[in-house]
């Protein structure tokens, strides 16, 4: 079967608020997908529909080819891990993890074995007899994961599971989640509003905005080939340049790409593009990520035609990069430079090299 979980044309309103609008998503077995978007865009509502906590107004949820839209939550084996973990405070770690199986009347010795095994897998064997309030945030989070994983979930739903952890721990646990997901080949739907988290762990990212799916693609596609301004801005810093397309011709490198000449700031630049439907004479928005632009010193000899002069407005040294705001003929451009160690922080006039491969909106 091609797709493990399919969301078909889901709609859900609360009063006048359309929380989810005509949402279509297809998820393969063993894939980790994230729902990424700002607060209120419908991520949790979508998860609740998958889990069976909400019925959609329209549309279907299909798991393994079977319509489960109206199936009770406890019959669909799609456990959800919440931001606040929701562990039972009066039960020990062991009892918390065992709870779901006990309800399903799994034999005691099997429960014993499975809980022991999953706690070991998650590096928690020594805390089985503790209560949740005797655990760190990271440990509680892992217990919540263990509690869901022990059920061999069809689909594991994680709603902002890391937002209560500090920055370093968040990064560590997100890699652990990714490793578990690969090891057990679990289909996971992961909710976050942190773009870096989404890009780093997902097989595919679904970017949502006001209940609408704006784009569904690999992290690479979402970052380098965003479909619109909302997606481009949501997944990172971006420069949008209004340019005029002058000429489009086939590239002679045999890749099927095109070379396009475009006019910006009264200058003609050339770049390579894949099929982006550009026509000469049209005005288009060119997307430039800050790290794609290379600043070089004013006095540096360069022959590259794709270079333009600008003036540093301000700079912030962030360690791995220096972030500049640069004035280019009255337009403000954000540029990230990763070579500060070599040439120091630029001031005053700089030259900017535009990349040979860009994306137009
Ligand atoms: N039970 C409810 N009753 C009324 N309105 C609701 C209910 N649940 C959600 N909403 C509304 O639906 C919209 C989507 O909410 P949802 O919780 O899905 O957003 P979200 O993307 O998870 O946001 P966040 O990142 O803040 O968790 C919001 O406008 C919210 O106020
Ligand atoms: Mg939410």
Tell me if 47 CB under 6 Å of ligand 1.
Answer: no
Regarding whether 327 and 181 lie in a shared domain, the answer is no
Q: How large is the angle between the packed helices 93-103 and 137-149, nearest 10 degrees?
A: 20
In angstroms, the CA 63 to CA 33 distance is 15
Q: How confident is the model at residue 304 (pLDDT cuts 50, 70, 90)?
A: low
- Distance between Cα 20 and ligand 1 center (Å): 9
Residues 210 and 250 in one domain: no
Q: Decide: 17 in ligand 1 pocket, CB within 6 A.
A: yes
12 and 158 belong to one structural domain:
yes
Residues 181 and 92 occupy one common structural domain: yes
Specify whether 36 is located in the same domain as 161.
Answer: yes
Q: How far apart are CA 24 and CA 223, in angstroms?
A: 21
Report the chain's mean pLDDT, rounded to a whole number. Answer: 90
55 and 25 within one domain: yes
What is the predicted pLDDT for the residue at 120? 87
**Do 264 and 221 lie in a common domain?**
no
Question: What's the whole-number mean pLDDT along residues 267-292?
Answer: 88
How many angstroms separate the Cα of 86 from the Cα of each of 141, 145, 274, 337? 9, 11, 48, 43
Choice among 53-57, 89-93, 142-146 with the minimum mean pLDDT: 142-146
Ligand 1 pocket, residue 44 CB under 6 Å: yes
The band of 303, judged by pLDDT with boundaries at 50, 70 and 90, is: low
Of 200, 234, 268, the last residue of a domain is: 234
Confidence at residue 226, expressed as pLDDT on a 0 to 100 scale: 94
Question: What is the length of the chain?
Answer: 361
Instruction: Specify the ligand 1 atom closest to the Cα of 46.
Output: 18
45 lines ligand 1 (CB under 6 A): yes
Structural domain range at position 308: 239-360
- The CA distances from residue 142 to 15, 81, 82, 123, 137, in Å, are 36, 10, 12, 9, 9
On whether both 256 and 217 belong to a single domain, the answer is no
Cα(54) to ligand 1 centroid in Å equals: 12
Q: Which of 181, 214, 234 is the last residue of a domain?
A: 234
pLDDT at 14: 96
**Domain CATH number, residue 285:** 2.40.50.100
Ligand nearest to the backbone CA of 82 = 2
The pick from 16, 40, 50 for probing ligand 1's pocket by mutation, whose C-beta has the most ligand atoms within 8 angstroms, reads 40
What percent of the chain is modeled with pLDDT above 90? 62
SS3 of the chain: CCCCEEEEEEEEEECCEEEEEEEEEEECCCCEEEEECCCCCCHHHHHHHHHCCCCCCEEEEEECCEECCCCCHHHCCCCEECCCCCCCCCCCHHHHHHHHHHHCCCCHHHHHHHHHHHHHHCCCHHHCCCCHHHCCHHHHHHHHHHHHHCCCCCEEEEECCCCCCCHHHHHHHHHHHHHHHHHCCCEEEEEECCHHHHHHHCCEEEEEECCEEEEEECHHHHHHCCCCHHHHHHCCCCEEEEEEEEEEEECCCCCCCEEEEEEECCEEEEEEECCCCCCCCCEEEEEECHHHCEEEECCCCCCCCCEEEEEEEEEEECCCCEEEEEEECCEEEEEEECCHHHHCCCCCEEEEECCCCCEEC
217 C-beta closer than 6 A to ligand 1: no
Which atom from ligand 1 is nearest to the alpha carbon of 38? 25
Give the total number of structural domains in the chain: 2
> Is residue 105 packed enough to be buried (19+ CB in 10 Å), middle (13-18) or exposed (0-12)?
exposed
pLDDT at residue 172 in the model: 83
Q: At what angle do helices 108-121 and 137-149 cross, to 10 degrees?
A: 130
The pLDDT tens digits of the residues spanning 325-358 come to 999 999 999 999 999 888 888 999 999 998 888 8
Residue 198 CA, ligand 2 centroid: distance in Å: 15
pLDDT at 228: 94
How confident is the model at residue 78, as a pLDDT? 93
Q: Give dist(CA 341, CA 338) in Å, integer.
A: 8
Closest listed ligand to the CA of 23: 1
Q: Is 34 in the pocket of ligand 1 (CB under 6 A)?
A: no
Residues 45 and 159 in one domain: yes
Domain edge (last residue) among 206, 234, 262 = 234
One domain for residues 108 and 12? yes
- Percent of the chain exceeding pLDDT 70 equals 97
Ligand 1 pocket, mutate which of 11, 14, 35, 39 (most atoms under 8 A from CB): 14
pTM: 0.88
**145 plus 207 within the same structural domain:** yes
- Tell me the pLDDT tens digit for each residue of 2-46: 799 999 999 999 999 999 999 999 999 999 999 999 999 999 999
**What CATH number has the domain bearing residue 119?**
3.40.50.300
* Over residues 282-297, mean pLDDT: 92
| Arithmetic mean of pLDDT, 305-316 | 91
Check pocket membership of 137 for ligand 1, CB cut-off 6 A.
Answer: no
Structural contact between residues 20 and 12, judged by C-beta atoms closer than 8 angstroms: yes
Pocket flag, ligand 1, residue 40 (CB < 6 Å): yes
Q: What is the pLDDT of residue 286?
A: 93
43 within ligand 1 shell (Cβ under 6 A): yes
> Sheet holding 204-209: strands in order across?
80-81, 155-159, 187-192, 32-36, 204-209, 212-217
Ligand 2: distance of its center to the CA of 207 in Å? 14
**Higher-confidence position of 129 and 84:** 129
Give the residue, 135 or 173, on which the prediction is more confident: 135
Is 42 a pocket residue for ligand 1 (Cβ < 6 Å)?
Answer: yes
pLDDT digits (tens, 9 = 90+) for 182-224: 988 999 999 998 999 999 999 999 999 999 999 999 999 999 9
Give the C-alpha separation, 155 to 121, whole Å: 19
- In this structure, which residue's CA is closest to atom 3 in ligand 1? 14
pLDDT digits (tens, 9 = 90+) for 65-80: 999 999 999 889 899 9
219 and 154 part of one domain: yes
In the prediction, which pLDDT does 358 show? 83
pLDDT over 90 (residue 168): no
Q: Which ligand is nearest to the CA of 20?
A: 1
Instruction: Say yes or no: CB of residue 351 within 6 Å of ligand 1.
Output: no
What local confidence, expressed as pLDDT, does residue 47 receive? 96
């Amino acid at each position: 079967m091609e797709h493990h979980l399919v969301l078909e044309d889901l709609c859900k309103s609360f009063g006048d608020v359309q929380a989810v609008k005509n949402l279509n998503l297809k998820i393969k077995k063993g894939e980790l997908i994230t729902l990424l978007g700002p607060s209120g865009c419908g991520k949790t509502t979508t998860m609740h529909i998958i889990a069976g906590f909400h019925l959609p107004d329209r549309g279907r949820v299909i798991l393994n080819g079977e319509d489960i839209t109206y199936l009770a939550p406890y019959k669909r084996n799609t456990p959800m891990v919440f931001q606040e973990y929701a562990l039972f405070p009066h039960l020990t770690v062991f009892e918390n993890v065992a709870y779901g199986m006990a309800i399903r009347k799994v034999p005691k010795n099997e429960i014993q074995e499975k809980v022991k095994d999953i706690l070991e897998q998650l590096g928690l064997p020594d805390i089985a007899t503790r209560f949740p309030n005797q655990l760190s945030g990271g440990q509680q989070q892992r217990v919540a994961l263990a509690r869901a994983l022990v059920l061999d979930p069809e689909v594991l739903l994680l709603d902002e599971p890391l937002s209560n952890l500090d920055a370093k721990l968040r990064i560590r646990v997100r890699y652990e989640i990714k490793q578990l997901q690969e090891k057990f080949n679990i289909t996971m739907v992961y909710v976050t509003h942190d773009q870096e988290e989404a890009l780093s762990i997902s097989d595919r990212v679904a970017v949502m905005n006001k209940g609408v799916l704006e784009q569904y693609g690999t992290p690479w596609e979402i970052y380098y080939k965003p479909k619109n301004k909302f997606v481009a801005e949501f997944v990172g810093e971006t420069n949008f340049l209004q340019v005029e397309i002058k000429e489009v011709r086939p590239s002679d490198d045999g890749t099927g790409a095109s070379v396009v000449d475009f006019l910006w700031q009264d200058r003609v630049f050339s770049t390579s593009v894949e099929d982006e439907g550009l026509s000469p004479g049209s005005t288009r928005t060119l997307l430039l990520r800050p790290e794609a632009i290379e600043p070089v010193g004013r006095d540096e000899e360069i022959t590259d035609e794709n270079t333009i002069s600008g003036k540093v407005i301000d700079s912030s040294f962030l360690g791995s990069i220096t972030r500049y705001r640069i004035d280019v003929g009255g337009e403000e451009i954000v540029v990230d430079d990763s070579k500060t160690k070599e040439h120091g922080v630029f001031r005053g006039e700089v030259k900017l090299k535009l990349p040979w491969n860009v994306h137009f909106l």
